[in-house]
Structure 1
Amino acid sequence: MTDSRPSEVADTDVYITRAFNAPRELVFRFFTEPEHLASWFGPAGISVPLDSVVVEPRVGGRWELVMVDNAGHGPFPMRGTIVEFVEPELIVIEVSAESGPVDLDAVTLRIEFHDHGDRTRITLHQGPFSPEMRHATETGWLESFDKIDNILAARAATETGETR
């Protein structure tokens, strides 16, 4: 779900809040552990090979992955440097990406993780973008977050013995 924008968020930025049915420590791991990151990152039709993911969870550490279009397009590498890191509360990354028609350079990605017991709310703020790239990026994040929801639902069903 996309919230109304705080005054410090520019029209060129992506701003999303989203709640997940999982504790904060687990949701944080989806962004910091290669196995988790590869399982969900990218919009529908995009995958991330596990061997392309590098996460060094510390200030100055690398945060990198390669997206591949399941139709055979790509690769689309993303490379970032972690500039703020407070486990399990905050990750700020300076990201550059080769996305095909438009490359991104030095885009700031800020993700805050808010503890709500068995649920976690994240706040994502990323930018600046051109209007077209802002829309595409926002859509990509929302579709990626749907993947996390599906993984968490499948995990919960397995833990409770339910079948989907």
Structure 2
Amino acid sequence: MTGTSPTSAVSAEYTLTYLLGAPRALVYQAWTDPEHFSHWFGPRVYTTPVSKISMDLRPGGIWRAAVVARDGSEQVLDGVYRELSPPERLVFTTGDPGNTTGDLASVVTIVLNERDGGTEMVFHQAGYNTDQAHADASKAGWLEFFDRLDEHLTGHSPKA
């Protein structure tokens, strides 16, 4: 993964606020512990085996996860941690799996706030070298992931 160049500019960005029915420390752990991460990261039609996840939890450390389709094909997602401030903040880069140039695709910032026994997760993604259609598809994908995250942490079915 390469960083942004001096000429790189945000080309699409959005913020999602999602309420989770679990304590903030547990939500942070779900983002940083492969055992938790494997239960919710990726679309429902894929699995994310613990053996296909690596997390070097330090600024500059690389995270990587392979989501596996029913036919056995894999798609690897990865990036670099920029900031880890448990249990309230996590910042990392994430690449576009279709990108063959190595350019940075986006920076994700997650802020976790305690709310009524649960957690308000504020998720911000600033995209580089992307367009709004790709950002909209990414946004929809993350919302599916967050439903899975809440299910995993609370044992309840998705929100209606």
> TM exceeds 0.5?
yes
Output the amino acid matched with 1:109: V
Deviation readout 1:106-147 (Å, 9 max, x if unpaired): 111111111225210111111313122112111111111111
Output the amino acid matched with 1:110: T
What is the correspondence of 1:11-160 to structure 2 with a 5 Å cutoff? 12-70=12-70, 72=71, 74-98=73-97, 102-103=98-99, 105-106=103-104, 107-128=106-127, 129-154=130-155
SS at match of 1:46: coil
Q: Which aligned runs of 4 or more in structure 1 are off by greater than 2 angstroms?
A: 102-105
SS at match of 1:47: coil
Output the amino acid matched with 1:51: S
State the TM-score, normalized to the length of structure 1: 0.78
Deviation readout 1:70-129 (Å, 9 max, x if unpaired): 3x264111121111111111111122231xxx4384111111111225210111111313
**5+ unaligned residues in a row in structure 2: which ranges?**
1-9
Structure 1 vs Structure 2: percent identity of aligned residues? 27
CA distance in 2: counterparts of 1:97 and 1:146, whole angstroms: 22
- Answer whether contact 1:14 1:137 (CA < 8 A) is retained: no
Question: Which is worse superposed, 113-122 or 86-95?
Answer: 113-122
Output the amino acid matched with 1:111: I
Q: Would you say how many aligned residue pairs link Structure 1 and Structure 2? A: 142
- Answer whether contact 2:31 2:37 (CA < 8 A) is retained: yes
**5+ unaligned residues in a row in structure 1: which ranges?**
1-9, 156-164
CA distance in 1: counterparts of 2:63 and 2:122, whole angstroms: 19
Output the amino acid matched with 2:61: G
Superposition RMSD on alpha carbons, in Å? 2.0
SS at match of 2:38: helix
State the TM-score, normalized to the length of structure 2: 0.80
CA distance in 2: counterparts of 1:36 and 1:105, whole angstroms: 29
